Amino acid sequence: MKYLLFLVFLIVIGCRSYQISDINFEKNFVPPNGFKVSDNLFIDKTEISNAYWKEYQYWLKNIFGEDSFEYISSSPDTTLWIGETLLDTTLVKKYHSSYMYNNFPVVGITQQQALEYSKWRSDRVFEFLLIKSGKIKLSNNQTGDNYFTIERYFSGGYFDYIPDTTIRLVPKFTLPTLSEIKLIEMKVNISNAQIIESCKKKRFKKCKQDYMYVNSKNNSNNYCEIYESPVKPVGIDCANASFLEVHNLIGNVSEWTKGYLETYGGSWLDEIDQNELIISNNNKSKSCDIGFRNIFKLEKRK
């Protein structure tokens, strides 16, 4: 029953924008929370939030058990807040555990943890698509020995199901490379500029207010102070600029790339130019100012 509830959450929240024909992806296929960069490259509109990470942990706990290495090792390191802000005591206790911070970026995770989440996300989305297309049935009997993965399905090892070998493409969520990030930044800048220019011409009061706030030199000093955190919620640009398609690609938290200990974007700990994409190679394996978001591609199954 718990697994059923989890997949219902995935269906309602995560996959509501999917457009599929059977299991073969259409040209207008859009992954959940995805912004189209090119024909086969999408990026999350927001950072991965604490709420999404908690769903991941819920699944790990349900499949492997509360005392398992898989579940225990998935916990973000909240002690990294110590000494970084006057609110460190509150954030150590509440940032990941309290519902108040559910919509804030998950931080304090390693690059490897982010990659493991990405693989898990790929598996869960493909599992949902197979269920929706009638190729497999929802199973509440999954354990650490038989849970669904893309590889297990196509190898014929997922229960007694015969894999559909006509399926050529599978979803892949992962971290971006440096070259992909530069392409993404260019595409996002063009899109946001077009949206803002369009917004300027409209008479809607809220649209005009948001546009003025985005362009205010002091927009970082008023809106964000209402939160007990130096980090902003996902989807918020300190200006409630909900009309923008991709949020905080620069600023808020630095984000992992695929490069070894490489991050991009800069964070609340950095003095950054909102028009400059900072690329950092640092010796921090995890930090209270590093989160991530996924890119998405369709790839040929192996």
Residues in the chain: 302
Cα–Cα distance, 278 to 270 (Å, whole number): 10
Tokens of 14: 């995560």
Listed in sequence order, the residues at least 6 apart from 128 whose beta carbon sits closer than 8 Å to its beta carbon are 7, 10, 11, 15
pTM exceeds 0.75, yes or no: yes
238-296 residue pLDDT tens: 444 555 688 888 888 999 999 999 999 888 888 755 556 777 877 789 999 999 999 99
- Cα 83 from Cα 119, distance rounded (Å): 33
Highest mean pLDDT among 8-17, 25-34, 190-199, 278-287: 278-287
Task: Give the pLDDT confidence of 68-79 residue by residue, as tens digits.
Answer: 999 999 999 999
Summarised one tens digit per residue, pLDDT across range 204-238 is 444 434 433 333 333 343 334 445 678 888 877 54
Sheet holding 262-264, edge to edge: 279-281, 262-264, 254-256, 290-291
DSSP one-letter string for 72-84: HTTS--GGGGTTT
8 A C-beta contact, residue 275 and residue 237:
no
Tell me, what amino acid is at 196? I
**Residue 138 has which token pair?**
């929802």
| 8 A C-beta contact, residue 293 and residue 44 | yes
Q: Indicate the DSSP class of residue 191.
A: H
Spatial separation of the C-alpha atoms in residues 66 and 106, rounded to whole Å: 21
* Tokens describing residue 91: 């954030």
Mode of pairing for the β-strands spanning 290-291 and 254-256: parallel
Cα–Cα dist 232/105, whole Å? 8
Query: C-alpha distances in angstroms, 213 versus 40, 79, 218, 228, 242?
Result: 34, 34, 8, 21, 12
Distances, alpha carbon 2 to alpha carbons 142, 200, 224, 287, in Å: 11, 47, 36, 32
| 27-31, 201-205, 259-263: segment of lowest average pLDDT | 201-205
| Burial of residue 90 (number of CB atoms within 10 Å: 0-12, 13-18, 19+) | middle
Q: Which has the higher per-residue pLDDT, 217 or 186?
A: 186
pLDDT at 112 over 90: yes
Task: Compute the C-alpha angle 91/287/70, nearest 5°.
Answer: 90
